[in-house]
Chain A
Amino acid sequence: MIERIREEARKAFEEGKIEILIGFGRGTLRATPIFIEKKEDVDKLIWDDTCWINLATYLRRFRGKKTGIVAKGCDARSVVALIAEKQLKREDVYIIGVPCQGMKNEKGEEFLSCRYCEYPTPPVYDVLVGEKREGKKENYPDVSEFESMPPEKRWEFFSEEAKKCIRCYACREACPMCYCEECFVDSLDPRWLEPGLSLSSLQFWHLVRAYHQAGRCSDCGACERACPMDVKILYLTRKLNKEVRELFGFVTGLDPEALPPLGTYSTEDKEEFIL
Chain B
Amino acid sequence: MKKVIAFLCNWCSYAGADLAGVSRFQYPPITRTIRVPCSGRVNPLYLFKALYEGADAVWVSGCHPGDCHYQTGNYYARRRFAIFNALMEYVGFEKGRVFFSWISASEGKKFAETVKHIKEEVEKLPPRQKFLREND
Contact = CB atoms under 8 A, between A and B. Distances in A.
B117 A275 contact: yes
A152 interface: yes
Question: Main SS of chain A's interface residues?
Answer: helix
Contacts of B117: 275
B65 interface: yes
A203 B90 contact: no
Nearest to A242: B86
A205 B90 CA distance: 16
A107 interface: no
A270 B91 CA distance: 21
B87 A204 contact: no
Contacts of B91: 154-155, 158, 203, 207, 236
Question: Main SS of chain B's interface residues?
Answer: helix
Interface in B29-54: 44-45, 48-49, 52
Contacts of B100: 273-275
Given A239-B87, A274-B101, A265 B78 contact: yes
Given A155-B92, A200-B133, A274-B102, A211 B83 contact: yes
Given A184-B45, A193-B52, A200-B133, A265 B79 contact: yes
B87 A265 contact: no
Given A193-B52, A210-B87, A269-B75, A275 B133 contact: no
Contact of A194 (B75, B85, B86, B134): B134
Interface of B: 44-45, 48-49, 52, 65-66, 72, 75-76, 78-94, 99-102, 114, 117, 130-134
Interface of A: 146-147, 151-158, 184, 190, 192-194, 198, 200-201, 203-204, 207-208, 210-211, 214-215, 236, 239-240, 243-244, 247-248, 261-267, 269-271, 273-275
